[in-house]
């Protein structure tokens, strides 16, 4: 996936952080073109090998049961949020979503993410309403009303032509799971014709936990200062004693 540097998104992301009495929230919106990079090609081959190892005789050496990702049965009709993964188009969609995550979180490898960790949303309007309700309830209407977020996204990917997917990782596999993590929402807006993807994400972290972390950092700094002061006093005492007559 190729990250697209877009001024309107940079401006949006620069103000997409705010606080409530309980939490700190960070949002980001990123645009990608579906152009494979070197690492993407490796991921694509990995998925093709996992789901479509077909012998020349028309039989399968790695086959899948419905609802399973273990290639060990005689049925390739696995159903996913993207469609049947024995078909090229659904597999390609799955690949684009994983490649987007890899590009957005380069310190993580999403090659083993399961299809069932994604959900296809039935309606764009429901997604917009859900996002707006969450943002408004948390005191952030300016990103929608003042900065016209949905208009910007519509200009980039023609929202009503997009398939929309959410990503709901297991907690131990969530790339946003760090100290103070409360929740996140993650959406992909995928326009097949334009071959463009928008990744939209908001993460919530506990202020209490982050404040405790800051206090720990301050205490560590104070401890370091005390150690330096003690060392300085010892050096001074040593110098004074060295100047004393015996």
Res 168 pLDDT > 90: yes
Confidence at 86, pLDDT banded by 50, 70, 90 = confident
Tell me, what's the pLDDT at 227?
60
Helix (H, G, I), strand (E, B) or coil at 152: helix
Alpha carbons 126 and 166: distance in angstroms, whole number: 12
Tell me, what's the pLDDT at 245?
40
Res 242 pLDDT > 50: no
pTM above 0.75, yes or no: yes
Alpha carbons 172 and 189: distance in angstroms, whole number: 25
Q: What share of the chain is helix, strand, coil (3-state, %, to 5)?
A: 45, 20, 35
- Yes or no: say if 108 and 205 are a contact pair by the CB < 8 Å rule: no
Give burial (CB, 10 Å; 0-12/13-18/19+) of 96: buried
Helices (H) and strands (E) in the chain, counts: 7, 9
pLDDT (tens digit, 9 = 90+) per residue, 15-64?
A: 999 999 999 999 999 999 998 777 788 899 988 888 876 323 344 444 44
Alpha carbons 143 and 83: distance in angstroms, whole number: 34
Tell me, what's the pLDDT at 186?
97
Q: Scanning the structure block, which residue is given the tokens 């090998």?
A: 49
Dihedrals phi, psi of 124, to nearest 5 degrees: -60, -40
Give burial (CB, 10 Å; 0-12/13-18/19+) of 82: buried
């Amino acid at each position: 996936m190729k990250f697209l540097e877009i001024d309107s998104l940079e401006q949006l992301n620069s103000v997409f952080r705010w606080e409530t009495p309980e939490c700190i929230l960070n949002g980001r919106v990123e645009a990608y073109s579906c152009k494979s990079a070197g690492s993407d090609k490796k991921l694509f081959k990995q998925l093709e090998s996992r789901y479509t190892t077909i012998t020349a005789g028309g039989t399968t050496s790695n086959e899948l049961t419905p609802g399973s990702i273990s290639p060990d049965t005689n049925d390739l009709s696995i159903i996913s949020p993207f469609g049947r993964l024995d078909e090229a188009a659904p597999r390609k969609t799955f690949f684009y979503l994983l490649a987007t995550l890899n590009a957005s979180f380069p310190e993580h490898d999403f090659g083993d993410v399961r299809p069932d960790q994604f959900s296809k949303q039935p309606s764009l309007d429901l997604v917009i309403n859900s996002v707006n309700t969450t943002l408004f309830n948390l005191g952030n209407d300016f990103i929608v009303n003042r900065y016209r977020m949905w208009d910007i996204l519509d200009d980039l990917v023609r929202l009503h032509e997009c398939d929309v997917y959410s990503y709901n990782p297991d907690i131990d596999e969530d790339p946003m799971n760090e100290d103070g993590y409360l929740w996140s929402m993650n959406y992909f807006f995928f326009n097949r014709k334009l071959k463009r993807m928008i990744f939209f994400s908001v993460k919530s972290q506990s202020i209490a936990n982050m404040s405790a972390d800051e206090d720990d950092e301050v205490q560590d700094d104070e401890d370091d200062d005390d150690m330096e002061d003690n060392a300085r006093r010892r050096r001074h005492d040593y110098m004074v004693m060295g100047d004393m007559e015996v």
